[in-house]
């Protein structure tokens, strides 16, 4: 399984000639992110995770939470506890709610996806799935998150690999801090924890 990072919160997963794309939002400018996609997963309705206009031009199946369907995306609504197959990938759904953000904004629904019992993407939440996680896509920068929460999340899930996501809000200096924070935790846990730059890939064996 090959994993490629794109702008902000978007990831492309490839296996056996099939392509699964997660959270291609408006902060994901790269056209190649969705090129040849066989299926799309969307964690929640915020614009940095879903570009409704862009998806409307694709003829591929989409799985997401009910809130995204309500925004006009054509797809299949899923919720915590569901399992399904998407383009040959086995998917398990964990989580129900987005992390609390601005006090004047309601908490919306958010689902996390565990792919092939290996790769977990929580969306905008720090959901701990009731399952072993080999590879975690860990949010590293968001209005709703503190550094201490990110570190505690890594220590609770204890993945063998963790890669930064949700990081477009950082300057170059801030990304350097993300690199440092992940390296410190990688050293502590003896795991592969780091930031993959947009367009770069890693193979999960």
pLDDT tens profile 67-76:
999 999 999 9
Cα 109 from Cα 122, distance rounded (Å): 12
Average pLDDT over residues 163-188: 97
Q: How confident is the model at residue 180 (pLDDT cuts 50, 70, 90)?
A: very high
Q: What is the pLDDT of residue 205?
A: 76
Q: Averaged over 141-159, what is the pLDDT?
A: 97
Q: What is the mean pLDDT of residues 69-89?
A: 97
pLDDT > 90? residue 37: yes
Mean pLDDT of 83-106: 96
The pLDDT, as a whole number, for residue 152 is 98
pLDDT-based confidence at residue 195 (cuts at 50, 70, 90): very high
DSSP string, 117-172: TTEEE--SS----SS--SEEEEE---TT--HHHHHHHHHHH--SEEEEES-TT--H
The predicted structure's pLDDT at residue 57:
85
Share of the chain above pLDDT 90, in %: 98
- What pTM was estimated for this model as a whole? 0.97
Mean residue pLDDT of the chain comes to: 97
What does the pLDDT read at residue 21? 98
């Amino acid at each position: 399984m090959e994993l490629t990072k794109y702008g902000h919160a978007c990831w492309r997963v490839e296996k056996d000639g099939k392509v699964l794309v997660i959270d291609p939002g408006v902060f994901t400018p790269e056209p190649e992110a969705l090129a040849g996609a066989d299926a799309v997963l969307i964690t929640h309705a915020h614009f940095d995770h879903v570009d409704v206009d862009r998806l409307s031009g694709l003829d591929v199946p989409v799985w997401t939470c009910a809130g995204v369907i309500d925004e006009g995306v054509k797809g299949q609504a899923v919720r915590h506890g569901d399992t399904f197959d998407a383009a040959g990938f086995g998917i398990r759904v964990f989580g129900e709610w987005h992390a609390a953000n601005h006090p004047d904004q309601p908490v919306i629904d958010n689902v996390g996806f565990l792919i092939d019992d290996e790769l977990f993407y929580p969306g905008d939440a720090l959901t701990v799935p009731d399952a072993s996680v080999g590879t975690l896509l860990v949010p590293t920068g968001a209005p709703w998150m503190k550094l201490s929460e990110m570190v505690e999340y890594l220590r609770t899930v204890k993945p063998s690999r963790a890669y930064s996501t949700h990081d477009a809000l950082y300057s170059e200096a801030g990304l350097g801090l993300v690199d440092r924070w992940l390296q410190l935790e990688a050293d502590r846990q003896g795991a592969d924890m780091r930031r993959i730059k947009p367009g770069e890939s890693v193979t999960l064996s």
